[in-house]
Amino acid sequence: MSEENVVVSCNNLEEKYGFNKVAKQASGAVMYQCGDAVLLAAIAIDSKAVDEDFLPLTVQYVEKAYAAAKIPGGFIKRETKPGDFETLTSRIVDRSIRPLFPQGFNYPVVLTITVLSADPAVDMQVAALHAASAALYTSDIQVNQTLAAVRLGKIEDEVLINPTLLEQEDSTLDLLVVGSGSDVLMIEMCVHASEGEASQKTNELEEDEFLEIIDIAQSAIEQASSAYEIDFKEAKKEIIELELLEDEKDDTLYKFIEENYAEAVSLAVQSMAKSERSQELKKVRQSIMDALEEKGEEADKKIVSKMLEAYKKSVVRSLILDKEVRADGRALNEVRAIDIETNILPSVHGSCLFTRGQTQALVTATLGDAKAAQAYDLIGSKNALYETFMVHYNFPGFSVGEAKPARAPGRRELGHGNLGKRGLEPTLNLKRDGTVRLVSEILESNGSSSMATVCGGSLALKAAEVETSKLVAGIAMGLVTDGEKHCVLTDIMGLEDHDGDMDFKITGTSDGITAMQMDIKLGGIEANVLKDALHQAKEGRLHILNIMEEALVEMQPSAALPSSTTFDIDASHIPAIIGKGGGTIREIIEKYGVAIDIDRDNNQVKITGNSKEDVGGAKEFIETLTSAPVKKQMVYEINKQYAGKIKKIVEFGMFIEMPDGFDALLHISKVAKERVNNLGERYNIGDDIDIIVLEQKGKKVELCTPAYIL
């Protein structure tokens, strides 16, 4: 095929796509350019299918240092482990393109998106999504849809489509919507706090306003994806016909399970714990195989497992759609039982054990100074950036009863931690000058562990006495639909996530949404369904927030919590606090065991210590120093004699305390007419001495003795 170059202008973006120019041995490749940003997206497929019924898709978004005219820092001068932004972007692309593949596609696919040239003004996540979509659509893989991504911002009351990065800095909303045609496939959203005239504003988004903004996004996506399909049509390769995995159906076996094991499957489904359910279903499977062997029929374990799984899924969905009853007996809009304990760890600054049903998160908060911030680089930034609020999510195998060793955090862990951070950060004080780290240890998991992290994290911040504007709760919503009827589920557990059609995570305060993440398994979601999910999520969120508020009443402060205070001072008092040679401030630090930071720009003193008593004592000491009236230096009469006192004797002279309390130097050459070699033989510290002022320039005073003049 000949080289194709396509220019697309849509939604405030001008993009250039180059096809059949590079990476020609790949199944599909595109050289994408927007502004000065250049990305190469290449997709490769393994023609040997896997045995399992799933799509083995791997997405790799890679930023090269040379793209920003940089050499990698550190000892090894080449790119190594991907950064958090690369990992999160890979995850976003994966979640967006996965629904485009046909049902039964089980061939390993690797999509690599490489940033070859960076542009600080270009949204790299939108660029990566569009490059990936173009490479996939024009490849020889059986994908016949393009997707489009739009990022929406909000400045004051104006909604912006694909705002510039400079506009994003002033935006109170960060909403990324990915879709194909009229279908929304993926949503990532968070709000940004802003400082008003009086106080900080969290800027939560109300549900109805969110729906209005989604309408804007859908129109923009439909327009863009239609344009892509038309413009890329000529560059599309001939499709390789690959055999798709068909569901191995055995209608006779399915009917046999339905007629003989309906009650057993129903009881297994309604087993509370995930491990219990798994064990019960294994017992049912073994019973089915034993029964088949007794009848002299072949009992293929793989087919039996598949038919049992299919019947189990139909039972779960039928209970919900037909009876509006869930596997654990809850109503559709019912939240599982919640239990909260705070500050259970004596040596930790703040902690919360948050339990919701069979999901349990132990979240800890640790406070540090600005030096404890996490340094990181972005390809479009010339200088290192610092993360002063971190949320780290850990998911050990024992939380789901699996015997597997601990490993480094994967994409899922990074994604859940990032969602927790985006949900909580808008409520934190923007003027913080320290660092806060939240760590969520998932001790038990049966759905919605990331939302338990948000709830426990909000309370852990309160337990550590971090200044936050409001409590934040998170809730995961699900959906089951047969095409005609739909049921929205509040606070889904693992079974409902697995057998349902949507995973919709929402965090927010009592006033609105702070962050959101949505993945659709259906290929799209109707506006009325989304509206139902949002309003039902609000009810559940408010229910959880009420329980969290009750926990605040019983919260006891942690004994390990450091204390700090910041107060204003007059700039003229700073020398008194520091003292000569730093002696006074060292004395305060040693006496009370505190750290003292003086901000000369804002005339503030910050004291941090291990206890409120130490901090209070140091503050009281400083206030005593600063309560004394500020001494003002006298204007001396030249050639007039004054009475002074010897404060210090040095090799080159003596420091004399003047009548106004200020010190002045009496040089050795001005003590007498004749040369004096050793002042210590004539004078003692503390002696009174008469001196004459020869000259005064500001604070500098030149002295001599009467003997020098005579």
Residue 421: enclosing H or E segment and its boundaries? Answer: helix 411-424
Check: CB of residue 102 under 8 Å from CB of residue 108. Answer: no
Q: How many angstroms separate the Cα of 114 from the Cα of each of 29, 33, 41, 151, 177?
A: 11, 12, 6, 21, 22
Say which residue the tokens 């206890």 belong to: 611
- Residue 480 amino acid letter: V
Check: CB of residue 328 under 8 Å from CB of residue 316. Answer: no
Spatial separation of the C-alpha atoms in residues 563 and 613, rounded to whole Å:
9
Spatial separation of the C-alpha atoms in residues 545 and 472, rounded to whole Å:
7
How is the chain split among helix, strand and coil, in percent rounded to 5?
35, 30, 35
Spatial separation of the C-alpha atoms in residues 30 and 127, rounded to whole Å:
12
Phi-psi category of residue 451: left, alpha or beta, with phi > 0 → left and psi -120 to 50 → alpha:
alpha
Question: Is residue 663 part of an annotated ligand binding site?
Answer: no
Spatial separation of the C-alpha atoms in residues 18 and 80, rounded to whole Å:
28
Check: CB of residue 627 under 8 Å from CB of residue 665. Answer: no
361 in helix, strand or coil? strand
Q: Which residues contact 246 (CB under 8 A, 6 or more apart)?
A: 104
Spatial separation of the C-alpha atoms in residues 341 and 377, rounded to whole Å:
37
Check: CB of residue 474 under 8 Å from CB of residue 363. Answer: no
Of residues 509, 405, 515, 376, the one with CA closest to residue 450: 515
Q: Which residues pair with 487 in a beta bridge?
A: 480
The number of C-alpha atoms within 13 Å of 581 and in the hemisphere containing its C-beta is: 1
Task: Tell how strand 434-444 and strand 359-369 pair up.
Answer: antiparallel
- Residue 682 amino acid letter: R
Strand order in the sheet with 653-657: 663-667, 653-657, 641-650, 688-697, 700-704
Residue 688: enclosing H or E segment and its boundaries? Answer: strand 688-697
Check: CB of residue 439 under 8 Å from CB of residue 422. Answer: no
Which ranges of 522-661 would DSSP assign to H, the alpha helix? 527-553, 574-578, 583-592, 612-627
- Residue 330 amino acid letter: R
Question: Is residue 503 part of an annotated ligand binding site?
Answer: yes
Q: How many angstroms separate the Cα of 201 from the Cα of each of 172, 469, 538?
A: 10, 8, 20
Q: Which residues contact 219 (CB under 8 A, 6 or more apart)?
A: none
Say which residue the tokens 């497929």 belong to: 45
Check: CB of residue 626 under 8 Å from CB of residue 577. Answer: yes
The number of C-alpha atoms within 13 Å of 37 and in the hemisphere containing its C-beta is: 27
Question: Tokens representing 197?
Answer: 């005239």
Check: CB of residue 32 under 8 Å from CB of residue 131. Answer: yes
Q: Which residues pair with 657 in a beta bridge?
A: 645, 663
Say which residue the tokens 């500001």 belong to: 698
158 in helix, strand or coil? strand
Check: CB of residue 60 under 8 Å from CB of residue 78. Answer: no
CA dihedral of 243, 245, 250, 255, whole degrees rounded to 10: -140
Residue 605: enclosing H or E segment and its boundaries? Answer: strand 604-609
For the CA atoms of the chain, what is the radius of gyration?
35
Could you list the residues known to form a binding site for Mg(2+), using ranges: 497, 503
Could you list the residues known to form a binding site, using ranges: 497, 503
